Amino acid sequence: MGLIGKIIVSLMPIAPKFLVKRIAGRYVAGLNLESAIDLMKNMSEENTCFTIDVLGEEINDVDEARYFVDEYSRVLDSIVSNQLDANISLKPTALGLLIDKEVALSNIEEIIKKAALNDIFVRLDMEDHRVTQETIDVVLEMQKKGFQNIGTVLQGRLFRTKEDIAEVSRELGPLADFRICKGIYLESSDISYTKYQEIVNSTNDCISHMLEMGCYTAIASHDLPIINHSLEKLSDMGMSVDNDPRDNSADSRVGKGPGYEFQFLLGVRGNLRRKLASEGHLTRVYVPYGTKWYEYGVRRIRENPDIAWHVTKTIIMPWTNRR
């Protein structure tokens, strides 16, 4: 898989944009909010809910962040007016975190405040290691201000993640709310696991740690070893689709499952998602949209060439991966 991915990455600069768009169309809802709303309405019959992401990250000028603040305001209005079971994901660097932290905090707070008025949860996406601690700090600061509708993402591949789980849990108790994934950013072996099985094992350990510490745990993975481990751990702890036996005062959050949920990227492992939903598990689809679809697709493949194999597989064997 690694070799195939590297070959595809090397061809990206000469690939026709229309071809990249054809590939990306499976994983991006469209160019605008209206296309994302239409897609979610159509998918709602599949007994799933959504996280909406406005494509874009790491702005060059702090003034660029205003676009994202205004666009997320539109997203929140649309969630309410269309009565969608959806929350939102923010990229902290798109809101200025690497340029001016105070401006970024103000931008994030403005979005969170509006979301809180409508019981809509806000997830801070986790980007590369440059902003790991800063992103966690934003969550803690917003919680101190009284906003309980915020959580972040942690990456199983990083050495520090288990300690981050413990630290945030000590600070927030049952309000600790994570999305856990393997992590797409290929970090240095000095700070992260780099081999597939090591990353899977670490991610599984993190999931167990989150559940044991009483955190809300959003399991964002398409890997069967991780999903199967999660199901076994939930069973061992007596957690089920309608029961969270942990002492958890935050277990009645709007739009949340009984202490956990499963999350999938749009266009990936749809059959598995539908199977979990049919068994009663809360499932959520990550729905990105926007004009930055090309940058989103190319950057993700360049950052992690193994993704290219999964993309290629869906093209040559589409029956293996219904949307």
Count how many Cα atoms sit within 13 Å of the Cα of residue 260 in the half-sphere of its side chain.
Answer: 32
* Kind and range of the H or E run holding 19: helix 17-24
Residue 81: is its pLDDT beyond 90? Answer: yes
Residue 147: predicted pLDDT: 95
Residue 22: predicted pLDDT: 59
Find the angle CA(197)-CA(198)-CA(203) to the nearest 5 degrees. Answer: 95
Residue 188: predicted pLDDT: 92
Residue 298: predicted pLDDT: 62
Residue 280: predicted pLDDT: 95
The whole-number average pLDDT for the span 148-166 is 97
CA distance 43 to 264: 13
Minimal CA–CA distance to 155: which of 104, 212, 193? 193
Which pLDDT band, with edges at 50, 70 and 90, does 25 fall under?
low
Return the minimum-mean-pLDDT range out of 85-94, 180-189, 205-214: 180-189
Determine what percent of the chain is predicted with pLDDT higher than 70: 81
Structure tokens at 56: 């874009």
Map residue 89 onto helix, strand or coil: strand
Summarised one tens digit per residue, pLDDT across range 220-276 is 999 999 999 999 999 999 999 988 998 765 656 778 888 999 999 988 889 999 999
Fold of the domain spanning 29-289: TIM Barrel (3.20.20)
Summarised one tens digit per residue, pLDDT across range 194-235 is 999 999 999 999 999 999 999 999 999 999 999 999 999 999
The whole-number average pLDDT for the span 75-90 is 97
Q: Which residue's entry shows tokens 């595809």?
A: 8
The whole-number average pLDDT for the span 96-119 is 97
The whole-number average pLDDT for the span 21-30 is 72
The whole-number average pLDDT for the span 180-199 is 92
Residue 184: predicted pLDDT: 80
CA distance 252 to 35: 31
Residue 144: is its pLDDT beyond 90? Answer: yes
Residue 18: predicted pLDDT: 59
Residue 113: predicted pLDDT: 97
Domain ranges of the chain: 29-289
With the C-alpha atoms ordered 142, 126, 226, 205, is the resulting torsion angle positive or negative?
negative
Note every long-range contact of 206-210, with CB atoms under 8 Å and residues 24 or more positions apart, other chains counting. Answer: 206/154, 206/156, 206/161, 206/162, 206/165, 206/180, 207/156, 207/180, 207/233, 208/233, 209/162, 209/165, 209/166, 210/165, 210/176, 210/178, 210/180
The whole-number average pLDDT for the span 73-101 is 97
CB 26 within 8 A of CB 270: no
Summarised one tens digit per residue, pLDDT across range 34-46 is 999 999 999 999 9
The whole-number average pLDDT for the span 4-22 is 57
Verdict on whether the full-model pTM lies above 0.85: yes
Residue 91: is its pLDDT beyond 90? Answer: yes
* Kind and range of the H or E run holding 225: helix 224-236
Which pLDDT band, with edges at 50, 70 and 90, does 17 fall under?
low
In the predicted model, what is the mean pLDDT of the chain?
87
Residue 313: predicted pLDDT: 56
